[in-house]
């Protein structure tokens, strides 16, 4: 299986929807490692590393209800996995 690191930026109104916590739960279920954090400009940043198929499942999950109606845009790119993450963390 191909391993990737996805760098994801989500724009929208996600605060107050437990988005970070729910994303952490979903990433853990998908056996991904990395982190999710709020940025100072209101966007959310995710680094998710693992099997490419599971990273794509996380991206698809981000676009589902109930939080999808609050998302304006999702930007992402794939990189070679380089970080030594051992779990998916809230930052």
Which two tokens mark 65?
A: 């209800």
* Cβ atoms of residues 59 and 7 within 8 Å: no
| Cα gap 45→35, rounded to integer Å | 8
Active-site annotation holder among 7, 38, 43, 70? 38
20 tagged catalytic: yes
Among residues 7, 13, 18, 20, the one annotated as catalytic is: 20
Give the DSSP per-residue string, 1-44. Answer: --EEEEEEEEEE--TTTTHHHHHHHHHHHTT-EEEEEE-TTS-E
Question: Would you please indicate which residues are annotated as catalytic (active-site) residues?
Answer: 20, 38
């Amino acid at each position: 299986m191909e391993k990737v690191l996805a760098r994801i930026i989500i724009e929208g109104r996600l605060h107050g929807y437990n988005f970070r916590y729910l994303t952490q739960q979903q990433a853990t279920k998908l056996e991904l490692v990395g982190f999710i954090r709020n940025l100072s400009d209101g966007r959310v940043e995710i680094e998710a590393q693992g099997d490419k198929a599971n990273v794509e499942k996380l991206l698809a999950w981000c676009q589902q209800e109930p939080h999808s109606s609050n998302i304006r845009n999702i930007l992402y790119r794939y990189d070679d996995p380089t970080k030594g993450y051992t779990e998916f963390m809230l930052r």
